[in-house]
Amino acid sequence: MNRLHSQSEWISRAREVLPAAGFGNFDASIVIARGEGSRVWDEDGNEYVDYLIGSGPMLLGHGHPEVMEAVLEQLPKGMTFFANNARGIELAEAIVDAVPCCEQVRFVTSGSEADMYAIRLARAFTGKSRILKFEGGYHGMSAEAQMSLAPMKQVNFPTAVPDSAGIPQGVADEMLIAPFNDLDAVAGLLNEHSDIAAIIVEPLQRIIPAKPGFLQGLRDLCTKHGVLLIFDEIVTGFRLAYGGAQERYGVTPDICTLGKIIGGGFPLAALGASAEIMAHFDKATVGAEKWLMQLGTLSGNPVASAAGLKTMEILRRPGQYERLRQLGQTLMDMQTEALNAVGVSHRICGDPTLFDIYFTDADPIDYRSARHRDPAVNEAWNATLRRNGVFKSPGKLYPSLALDEEDLDLTRRAIEQASQVIATA
């Protein structure tokens, strides 16, 4: 295939200008040239069924024609204004209509910003400083979020372990860490510490489901102790259900964060809560001392808002979520069948809308139990899938509504090949 530059040439160029030759997001050994529907192509022309889908936002697939039409209609009218615009207001209305905890929303550009502001908002509303998060929970790139995301060493709870250089000890002192799915541990910390402003949690922690009653238990404990409950729905919002994890599990937090799907593939995120809590963004209402300053150059920009609005409109159509779950279940089943056929122990972990495999004999219930028996097995599995035309992250598989029978057939063949490879390794 004649191309101006090969993938290896692009990688060489990246090494000169990018730390670790990448953007910090994904494997820098692959450079994606384009995406269409359920497929992506790298710069050497290799074609893949895409189960990364931009780390989640492309639920409808790449370049969905109706989303493209909405974006192209907006572009000549303006790309950003640093001012209110009608598409952004419409998107806020659609989110409020869909998400149980949201009476009002505030837009930002990234999920990291949304989680950072949600934590700050909880502190402003409660007047308390400490935040409780769960070991292994991912809440973006703020200093608070980079505590015990993927600690290399195990310490006693609730000690926070920084995952990044450059974070002052004072941040760790304001964070309490608990094991996911352990209500007793949470109850103990709430009884011991009266200065906790909020608990922040992924309702589906990466791909680990909450045990039955865990999320409702958090809700009850927060209500009892006057602590705010934050659902990080950057991933689960408009994926697990149209109303997100709140709709799927029937538990309503005080604050939630949203991203990925609400921008339709463009940079956009949001946080939402009751009007009482969100009043802290309004200086005229709460006064200067309780006001939470928030602004962003691209927050609520009309292009992302138009893409998000059209994406959400499509997702409201009958049968979309039923089909997404059916696709996901089919993918789960084909992996289980192939691995069982060759006698490889494993656990499919997650929800049909977002899941992956742990090669283990134990059920993953928290960060410390979510481990592969041998990480090399997972590496061989994912490498074989990629060689056979399946593009995914090392620890997640995102189904999309763009998948068709041809994609599933290719995926099944790749899974069978990968099963044989790890069974004979």
Q: What is the CATH number of the domain that holds 93?
A: 3.40.640.10
Q: What is the pLDDT of residues 336-370, one digit of tens each?
A: 999 999 999 999 999 999 999 999 999 999 999 99
pLDDT band at 1 (very low <50, low <70, confident <90, very high): very low
Residue 321 in any domain: the answer is no
What is the residue range of 102's domain? 65-315
Q: Are 345 and 373 in contact (CB under 8 A)?
A: yes
List the catalytic residue out of 42, 50, 182, 232. Answer: 232
Mean pLDDT across 45-68: 98
Q: What is the pLDDT of residues 259-271, one digit of tens each?
A: 999 999 999 999 9
Type of residue at 293: M
Give, as one character, the DSSP assignment of residue 77: G
| CA separation, residue 297 to residues 118, 302, 414 (Å) | 19, 12, 44
Q: What is the pLDDT of residues 238-265, one digit of tens each?
A: 999 999 999 999 999 999 999 999 999 9
- pLDDT, residue 279, reads 98
51 has catalytic annotation: no
Q: What share of the chain is helix, strand, coil (3-state, %, to 5)?
A: 40, 15, 40
Q: Are 125 and 280 in contact (CB under 8 A)?
A: yes
Mean pLDDT across 327-332: 98
Residue 52 in any domain: the answer is no
- Percentage, residues of the chain above pLDDT 90: 98
pLDDT exceeds 90 at position 234:
yes
**Cβ count near 229 (within 10 Å):** 23
- pLDDT, residue 425, reads 77
Residue 254 in any domain: the answer is yes
Q: What is the pLDDT of residues 93-105, one digit of tens each?
A: 999 999 999 999 9
- pLDDT, residue 3, reads 58
List the catalytic residue out of 48, 51, 138, 321. Answer: 138
- pLDDT, residue 403, reads 98
Q: What is the pLDDT of residues 3-41, one digit of tens each?
A: 578 999 999 999 999 999 999 999 999 999 999 999 999
List the catalytic residue out of 128, 133, 260, 310. Answer: 260
Structure tokens at 180: 């996911």
CA distance 70 to 267: 16
pLDDT exceeds 60 at position 134:
yes
In sequence order, which residues have a C-beta less than 8 Å from that of residue 69 and are 6 or more positions away? 310
- pLDDT, residue 152, reads 87
Residue 139 in any domain: the answer is yes
Pure H helices in 193-242? 214-225
Give 134-152 as a 3 state SS string. ECCCCCCCCCCCCECCCCC
pLDDT exceeds 50 at position 135:
yes
260 has catalytic annotation: yes
Residue 84 in any domain: the answer is yes
Structure tokens at 337: 């069948």
Instruction: Classify each residue of 309-321 as buried b or exposed e, where b means 16 or more C-beta atoms within 10 Å of its C-beta.
Output: bbbbebbeeeeeb
Residue 8 in any domain: the answer is no
Residue 301 in any domain: the answer is yes
Domain count, the chain: 1
Residue 297 in any domain: the answer is yes
Start-to-end C-alpha separation, the chain: 34
Q: What is the pLDDT of residues 138-155, one digit of tens each?
A: 999 999 999 999 998 899
Mean pLDDT across 37-56: 97
